[in-house]
Amino acid sequence: MKPASTRLALLALAATLLTTACSSNIVHHTTYYTDTSRTAQYQDTRIRFLVMHYTEIDEQQSLDVLTKEQVSAHYVVPDHPREKQGEPIVWQLVPESQRAWHAGLSSWQGTTELNAASIGIENVNLGPIDTPQGRTWQPYPPEQVNAMIRLAKDIVTRYNIPPTRVVGHSDIAPQRKIDPGPLFPWKQLYDAGVGAWPDDATVAKELAGRDPHAPVDVRALQQKLAAYGYEVATDGVFDERTRRVFAAFQMHFRPADYSGNPDAQSDAIAQALLDKYMQSAAPEPARPAP
């Protein structure tokens, strides 16, 4: 048996350690204290979406606008990022804990205040370039794609953002936005573990031998896009609002043709995405009228 003096010393040490552990949970807030020793089981992160944009202006102009005007984003990825020790440098303009003003009037999967629930990444890119010969788009350079993949992968990993919640500005606001455009590297991001993409085999199965450009039932396609996350009417009316939603979907998942027409390939892609990512039953593939 240890001597009494040793036992007393050990008891004193244990009491000191217990007091220290308890006091470390007491946090002073100027005029009051909080006890953080108990944690609620049911909670989640504020950040549930990642939204991609392009700036339509060069890097310096982008930084000026996003730091001085009534618009902002958490990150800006330069078209030609500087490097430090072989790794790209991106601009962080807003702490992730704060809300940036990048999404505006928007909606995705039933959430209508995307600014409060997302991280916004602005990518330096001029977007559409209109010439007498027609519209072209500025490509995203490989070094920029590398930087955005590293940044986006880190964000979705830390916040456990599901693939269907990595979206473009045009996805969440199709009536007024077209960024990040048809050349945005969604497939490259998907291959790196960021965002959603349909499986080719499932698209072929859902296409079921139909002509990819064959018309499909408007309401059925509206229902599928609504189930995936788009804000779209499901009334079967093919008006300009619906066309813009179809075009936004196509620009993301079939950028070779984003005319906004309700065609069989769009229908098959939508169904393939629902099959892959959504738990609830999706509508059956729409078939062309006889």
Alpha carbon distance 246, 178 (integer Å): 12
Q: Is residue 56 among the annotated active site residues?
A: no
Alpha carbon separation from 84 to 58, 88, 89, 144 (Å, rounded): 22, 6, 7, 15
Task: Show the beta-strand stretches assigned E in 29-98.
Answer: 33-35, 49-54, 75-77, 83-84, 87-88, 91-92
The 10 Å CB-count burial string (b at 16+, else e) for 2-21 is: eeeeeeeeeeeeeeeeeeee
Calculated CA dihedral for residues 55, 49, 166, 245, nearest 10 degrees: -80
Q: What share of the chain is helix, strand, coil (3-state, %, to 5)?
A: 40, 15, 45
Burial label for 134, CB within 10 Å (0-12, 13-18, 19+), is: exposed
Q: Which long-range contacts (CB under 8 A, 24 or more apart) does 252-255 make?
A: 252/167, 252/168, 252/170, 252/171, 252/184, 252/186, 253/186, 253/197, 253/198, 255/182, 255/183, 255/184
Q: Which of 122, 143, 231, 240 is catalytic?
A: 122
Residue 208 near residue 281 (C-beta atoms within 8 A): no
- Quote the Cα angle for 254-255-261, to 5°: 70
Alpha carbon distance 245, 173 (integer Å): 9
Residues annotated as catalytic (active site), given as ranges: 122
